[in-house]
Amino acid sequence: MVLVVGLGCLLLALALGVVALVLKPPVTAAGSLALIETSYSAAVVSKQEVGASPSWLRSIALRLSPAGVAVRLQRRLDLAGNPPSWTTDRVLAAKGLGLFLGAGLAALLTFRSPGWLVLGLAAGAVSGFFLPDLLLVNAGQKRQEKIRRALPDALDMLTVCVEAGLGFDASLAQVARNTTGPLAQECARVLQEMQIGKSRSEALRSLTERTTVAELRAFVSALAQAGELGVPIASVLREQAREMRIRRRQRAEEQAQKVPVKILFPLIVCLFPAMFVVIIGPGAISIARVLMHL
């Protein structure tokens, strides 16, 4: 009973520690639009005002990490939307905390066997150390997938607004105001960067550095080339929107083609054994009775 209670306390402490150091509050498009009139430096200052993490945990994580870990973490934070409560220092502190909590949990589970104790300490420490990285990568992948799914509809709205007579900046503001999700936040940030003095091409190219969506990168590249060559932006938007709809349909068809393969393994593992028991079971019982009688 004591071991079970101790194990539960350690699991709860690990979960609360990671949640307190890593998880972010939800960021809405309205909040992003409120930042359009402010500078990005003000956002960075407010980000730095979040409660500081223990420096000794960060130093331990830095010593155990390869060179350039801060740059890679910042890149992952950009892909995850650069949320206010996630900073490189806090992620490093979470890695250090996970190191000790994982090792402690493994020691509690394997303290009776000295041989397994060393292996458990190593496995628990490594698992706890890389848990914040996994959470960060997972958040970035989910956000990029949301951007990919919202891009065709956002381009349709952008095309309609431009063809209705609005300028590109005003159309982008309409997209940011009337849609939700990470893409609306990115549009709001592009407008914000243009407000503080960046050119349109520079703000759009900065957007490509914060995403891994190939379709969005191609769209930004087409807009930049259209601006340099003097091509009407409405025709470029119309062609890009049509291409995005085609790609969305192709992705849906690709996912549909994967369904039979994905269903095969659950059928083999779950359905076929039950069918064998029902179909072959009576015959096997009859054969066993005949053989035993003989």
Query: pLDDT digit string (tens) for 224-234?
Result: 888 777 778 88
Residues 121 and 11 in one domain: yes
Whole-model pTM: value is 0.68
Range of the domain at 138: 2-37+51-142
Q: What pLDDT does residue 125 have?
A: 83
Residues 173 and 118 in one domain: no
Q: Which of 94, 116, 142 is where one domain is finished?
A: 142
**Biggest CA pair distance of the chain:** 95
In a domain, residue 236? The reply is yes
Residues 6+ apart with CB under 8 A from 98: 14, 17, 18, 127, 128, 129, 130, 131, 132
- Dump pLDDT digits (tens) for 265-283: 888 888 888 888 888 888 8
Between CA 36 and CA 26 the distance in angstroms is 18
Mean pLDDT of the chain: 79
Q: How many domains does the chain have?
A: 2
